[in-house]
Amino acid sequence: MSTLAGKIAVISGGTTGIGLATAQRFVTEGAHVFILGRRQAQLDEAVELIGRNVTAIKADAANLDDLDRVAAAVREEKGVVDIIVSNAGFTEQAPVDTLTPAHFDKAFNLMARGPVFLVQKLLPMMTGGGSIILVSSAMHQMGIGGHTAYAATKAALRSYARTWAAEFKDRGIRVNTLSPGVTDTPILDSQSETRENLVKMYQSMVPIGRLAQAEEMASAALFLASGQSSYVTGSDLMADGGIGQV
């Protein structure tokens, strides 16, 4: 039997990178996935790639009205949620001396505020034995210049996992963070005009000596989503190639 046979998963940021790879893997393992994204063209492309057992919802994971629509759509189509993967995010570097309120608010609204209300709105449909996965980053415990807002949002997710693991323990819902290292996804393209140099820099920092692939993060998410991690809650799975460990 497939690992996630019959399970219903909601994945924010599900159109590219880690989110898309996770949606593909979950469907392969028997789940039906709802993927959220802001751009219809990317949603359409993702649906075509996934191929089956997928519902695409155009939604901004930072917009509470959109999250209400997401919850309503999931309730109408399936009525239950087994897995939530809060993955929507972006990276824009800004040293603290040039940090703007707009940059700070954009980061926190999407990557710290959004996950709280995504979970809140889906929680009434979650089953006992459910799993919430908050996609954080190895950077939540590192110090890399230029990432004041980004790293702080990822640290917030780590805190949520601890708090919610305690808060939801009587509901049978597990909550964990997945903290990737540097992963070879389109998000790298927004960080530098010279992607090749950026990749070389990151590779030099990673003990394994290469960047992660999105499919490797999907495997880690599958572990946290499935009964294979039935005794794991409040934890942080550092799938980071050692960059945050060594």
Residue 207 burial (CB < 10 Å; 0-12/13-18/19+)? exposed
**CB-CB contact of 200 with 182 (8 Å):** no
Tell the residue number behind the tokens 């010279």, with chain if given.
194
Q: Tell me which of 150, 160, 202, 231 is the catalytic residue.
A: 150
160 catalytic, yes or no?
no
* Residues catalogued as catalytic: 150
